[in-house]
Amino acid sequence: MANYSVYGRHKLWKAARRAGHDIGRDQVARLMHELGIRGARRQKKVFTTKADKKALRAPDRLRRDFTATAPNMKWVCDFTYCSTWSGVVYVAFVIDCFSRRIVGWKASRSMSEALVLDALNMAAWVRRNVDLTGLICHSDAGSQYTSIAYTERLADIGAAPSIGTVATSYDNALAETMNGLFKTELYRNPAVLSANGGPWKGLTDLEIATCAWVSWFNDERLYSELTDCTPAEVEAAYDEANAREAVA
């Protein structure tokens, strides 16, 4: 099940060229049409977070600007829900705006503050050798992200919280996009479900599959907004450029 069977003609063409195949984009499109292959398509977002009207909320420090010139300048966070045979599973993500890398994630049966806190802790561990002072960590206005434990953890790592408007997906569009990709490429993906032996049974099988998908996403998935590079390649190129400047 190469590339989770989610690529459209452009990414499939790019992937084929990377693999050393001398093939044109139009030829890829023709072959896909003949074989009945089509890229994955996202569905609409369903809101899961609820704001705590009594909680103090940080200002929106991003104002819908999800660009960054270096890693660890801006992270965006969100979580989504997945129905399984044994109940709902919630999956939280932390994404670096510079490289689109998933730096932290967590799957849980509960959408408590521990869900988003564990995802943040993973992100802090992944970037453990980096000074995160000045990092902006953006989320929606869900009560999990305005909890005392979460905001205190942000302060511990030197990050500043940023909160978007209630029930406005555009204020956290990058994280919403990640949720959509996760559901399209893994959770609802017919090829994945077939390999899994049918619908998701519960937390364990979805968690294992999510771990594999995150690894693939970071290291192998071609991302259009990254000029068809992977998050890992973007960060490696940044590190290499910094190393050259240090020597010069």
| 179: confidence class by pLDDT, cuts 50, 70, 90 | very high
User: Where on the phi/psi map is residue 195: left (φ > 0), alpha (ψ -120 to 50), or beta?
Assistant: alpha
Residues 142-175 have pLDDT tens digits of: 999 999 999 999 999 999 999 987 666 789 999 9
Backbone phi, psi, residue 236, to 5°: -65, -40
Phi and psi of 98, rounded to 5°? Answer: -65, -50
Q: Average pLDDT for residues 50-65, to the nearest whole number?
A: 79
pLDDT of residue 88: 97
Q: How far apart are CA 12 and CA 16, in angstroms?
A: 6
Q: Give the whole-angstrom CA distance, residue 127 versus residue 71.
A: 10
Cα–Cα distance measured from residue 92 to residue 18, given in angstroms and rounded to the nearest whole number: 31
- How many whole angstroms separate alpha carbon 245 and alpha carbon 243? 5
Backbone torsion region of residue 45, taken as left when φ is above 0, otherwise alpha when ψ lies between -120 and 50, otherwise beta: beta
Q: What is the pLDDT of residue 245?
A: 84
Identify residue 114 by its one-letter amino acid code: A
CB neighbourhood size of 168 (10 A):
13
Element (H, E) at 193: helix 190-196
Amino acid at 53: K
pLDDT tens-digit map of 212-228? 999 999 999 998 889 99
Q: What is the pTM of this model?
A: 0.82
88-131 tens-digit pLDDT: 999 999 999 999 999 999 999 999 999 999 999 999 999 999 99
pLDDT at 56: 73
pLDDT at 28: 44
Q: How far apart are CA 155 and CA 77, in angstroms?
A: 16
The two tokens of residue 84 are 């399984």
Q: For 7, left (φ over 0), alpha (ψ -120 to 50), or beta?
A: beta
pLDDT at position 198 over 80: yes
The count of other CB atoms within 10 Å of the CB of residue 165 is 14
